[in-house]
Structure 1
Amino acid sequence: MDERDEEFTAFVAARSGPLLRYAYLLTGDHAAAEDLLQSTLVKVYLSWHKIADHRSVDAYTRTAMTRTNISVWRKVGRREYATETTPDQAVDDRHDIDERDGMWALLQTLGSRQRTALVLRFYEDLPEAEIADVMGCSLGTVKSQISRGLANLRKVVPARDEVWERGLGHAG
């Protein structure tokens, strides 16, 4: 095994779990997430010699994954898949698990582009300009997808005051 293969194998071993969760957030389907991750890792491997700074390979891989997923939209259009579970997550607090499951269910109500924009903004914490670069679209498109996605989520999430009135809010 040459040095390139060793570096790539170490990267995959260290980052495949988080990358699979990211792929799942983008696709909403376990099988599609696995396929997306696999095809992205093939692309990254083939470009490994072009990546000057291997400290940025994680960001490079997420960008490649997002763009690969977007190319699927363009080829087959929008498809939504229902799912019962999310990928395994190392979480100790049951409240966190319930909150994450609830948020995932809410994200599933959105279209692929809105979900991708929100995942990149709030899960990956990317600025809008970088999201536009990753998604291969204009800054205005990113802003509108985030705005529409949040508006759609607000339609299905009870207002904070309603939550507090029902006693679901946590004192803090």
Structure 2
Amino acid sequence: MRVAKWNGKRNIVIGGLVILSVTSLGACSASSVEQERKLYNGEATTEGNFRAKQQGHGLNGALVKELTTGLSDRGLKLMHNMFEEDGQGGVSYMFLLNGSARHIVKMHVYPDASVRSAQMENMYGEPQENSVLENALGRTTIRSKGHVSLVYSSFGGEKDKYEQDVLQVFEQVLHQLREY
């Protein structure tokens, strides 16, 4: 009977490959378990919705696209998109108009009109659907319908520069909204 002799280096290599294979199987398994856990507890849906809102997809994305297109048709560009959730179902988007910090366009979307009204009063001191707030620093114009508010703020010596065009686009966007 013949007994096979194994080279020491060969044993180490084979042993290393076996350990590597078992480890990678364990890692894949742990990753799969984590993905399934997220599916079952709804975390995957929440993460996906957050990414969609942040990137402007879904219903809010249609509003952002309409706003962007309407302003672009007038030679105005929304830049530096910023996104924020309020933790109560509200989402806000903020843009610099033509990249200028003197011209800010915001879109606030809330679960319903009463929440929108309360939040507008909390942020701007004004619950009305249409209002203009002016002081020595600038002007803020709010246009709202249902659960959505569009806000244009302009500051300094340029506060009237884009207002007419922006408000026309606001009216077009809000006109297309259905009441919820």
Higher share of residues assigned strand: 2
Higher share of residues assigned helix: 1
**Greater relative contact order structure (CA < 8 Å, 6+ sep):** 1
Q: What is the TM-score of this pair, normalised by structure 1?
A: 0.32
Q: Which has the larger radius of gyration?
A: 2
Q: What is the TM-score of this pair, normalised by structure 2?
A: 0.30
